[in-house]
Amino acid sequence: MSEPDIFYILGNRVRRDLLSHLTCTECYFSFLSSKVSVSSTAVAKHLKIMEREGILKSYEREGPFIGPARKYYDIAISKSYMVTLTPNIFWYRSLDLSKRPVEEAPLLSLIGRFLELSDELNALLESMAELESLRDSLMAKIKERYMAEIGDMTELAILHYLLLNGSATVDELSDGLNLKEREVLLKVRELDRFVPLRIKENTIEIDREKLKAKNGGGENAGED
């Protein structure tokens, strides 16, 4: 299954509210409808969208009383999404969260451990904020320096994409920049005159070994 459009899903407040309820307890349709301030028809539409995107799964289960089986919903993915949006960077990545076994322990011990992990996560996020702030400043300086020294906006767009994504195919750059493939390859060759690139099997990436050699082998060479 392809990656769900998480930005589309989370861009709607009702869908965010439904997901929040689903993380608290298993939910059947009428229960979910009673927890949000829209019609049941609207709730059904939102649930269908999330199920289509692979965010939710549904199943029917008999209730404790006589009557038709109820349709339950459950979240179908386990992922964490990281996003950076600045004037210089739009970058996001999904992280798969595989289930890790937890030893049996008293309830209060489990709660305490969860709080400890939350503190560790907050410390990591603070470190990430510092890293992303530095990356943002570096990207701004790279853009400024490239336009001053080279002056080609299309080459800069290719470099920008490679820096944020690690690599790109000719097709991706062609679609993203609205250029023909031969035009992309021409610009890539021109960019390679200034920034060492590796082109292999239609995939382009920055050649880190050559870059390091050009920087004299120093990891921070060229930084202000």
Q: Work out whether the CA dihedral 115, 119, 125, 129 comes out positive or negative.
A: positive
pLDDT of residue 26: 78
Q: For residues 29 and 36, what is the distance between their CA atoms, to the nearest angstrom?
A: 11
| DSSP notation for 13-33 | HHHHHHHHHHHHS-EEHHHHH
What's residue 135's pLDDT? 97
- Domain architecture of the chain: domains with CATH: 6-77 (1.10.10.10), 80-131 (no CATH)
- pLDDT beneath 50, residues of the chain: 221-224
Predicted pLDDT at 17 = 95
As to burial, measured by CB atoms within 10 angstroms (0-12 exposed, 13-18 middle, 19+ buried), residue 205 is: middle
Residue 25 has what pLDDT?
A: 81
Q: Do 7 and 51 touch, CB atoms closer than 8 A? A: no
**Residue 31 neighbours by CB under 8 Å, 6+ apart:** 21
